[in-house]
Amino acid sequence: MNIRVYYHTASIDDLALRDSNVVVIDVLRATTTIVHAMAAGAREIIPVGSADQAMRIAGSLFSTTSLICGERGGYPIAGGKLGNSPTEYTPEIVEGKSLILMTTNGAPTLVKAKHSRHCFIAAFTNISAVALAIKALPHIHEQGLAILCSGREGDFSLEDALCAGLLIERLAAIGLEINLSDTVRVALSLWKEYQGDLTGAMKASDHGKYLISIGYEKDIDVCAAIDTIPIVPILEQTRITKKIVLD
């Protein structure tokens, strides 16, 4: 199976992903937060690329059942109900709600994937479930897979590359034959180098150090936990409304 790993998405046009099988990764913190939010019973999550778009969508929904959430530069957005810390997204707050999510890196990457054939949201917290969902896709061997690492403000991020490497390792472990392209080899090599201390590697990464500097070190511990939530959120066009739940 052919896999292409994109280490940031600044140069990707959304039409380039039309009819592709896609996995979106933004470990710190958007995709981890999405996994937590869907596990907590959110009805849907709508990723947006700008504050104006968030306000327009919020105006078209019932105010009692929708929440504007997310961050800019790591800090909660002005007027938002929730920031981008995964543990904020509890059943008491988000169950049955529509969440309009604006983040610096992950949400714009999801917007770019809106024309994909299938789009799964991945983090360390649900990585094995994502691997199983990919394996179950019809014709996955022929169609291949694009892994979109959201990166950090148009540049490479270590934690997303590590998550891509672990996903590829899990896909191989459950029987998918992976063609070892250059982008795949890089992800696997990074994962093998840092897997012994994932949390330490994430805290030492550029984004990790920044989150620590603004008071979000505990989020990194949550985001570095592997296979804690066995669900796979699915983006369908502009909304995450479905999830695969595994035992």
* Pairing between β-strand 239-245 and β-strand 231-236 as defined by DSSP bridges: antiparallel
CB-based burial label for 172 (10 Å; 0-12, 13-18, 19+)? middle
pLDDT of residue 120: 98
Residue 185 has pLDDT above 90, yes or no: yes
Q: Average pLDDT of 102-118?
A: 96
pLDDT of residue 78: 86
> 3-245: CATH homologous superfamily?
ComB-like (3.90.1560.10)
Q: pLDDT-derived band of residue 61, with 50, 70 and 90 as boundaries?
A: confident
CA–centroid distance for 89 within its chain = 15
Whole-structure pTM value: 0.96
Q: Average pLDDT of 13-20?
A: 89
pLDDT of residue 62: 63
Q: pLDDT-derived band of residue 15, with 50, 70 and 90 as boundaries?
A: confident
| Neighbouring-strand partners of residue 155 | 152
- Report phi then psi at 208, rounded to 5: -60, -45
Contact 101, 48 (CB under 8 A): yes
Q: Average pLDDT of 1-27?
A: 93
Q: Average pLDDT of 82-98?
A: 97
pLDDT of residue 63: 67
The percentage of residues in the chain with a pLDDT greater than 90, rounded to a whole number, is 88
CB-based burial label for 163 (10 Å; 0-12, 13-18, 19+)? buried
Mean of pLDDT over the chain: 95
Instruction: Give me Rg for the CA atoms of the chain.
Output: 17
Q: pLDDT-derived band of residue 57, with 50, 70 and 90 as boundaries?
A: confident
pLDDT of residue 56: 81
Q: Average pLDDT of 203-212?
A: 98
Q: pLDDT-derived band of residue 87, with 50, 70 and 90 as boundaries?
A: very high
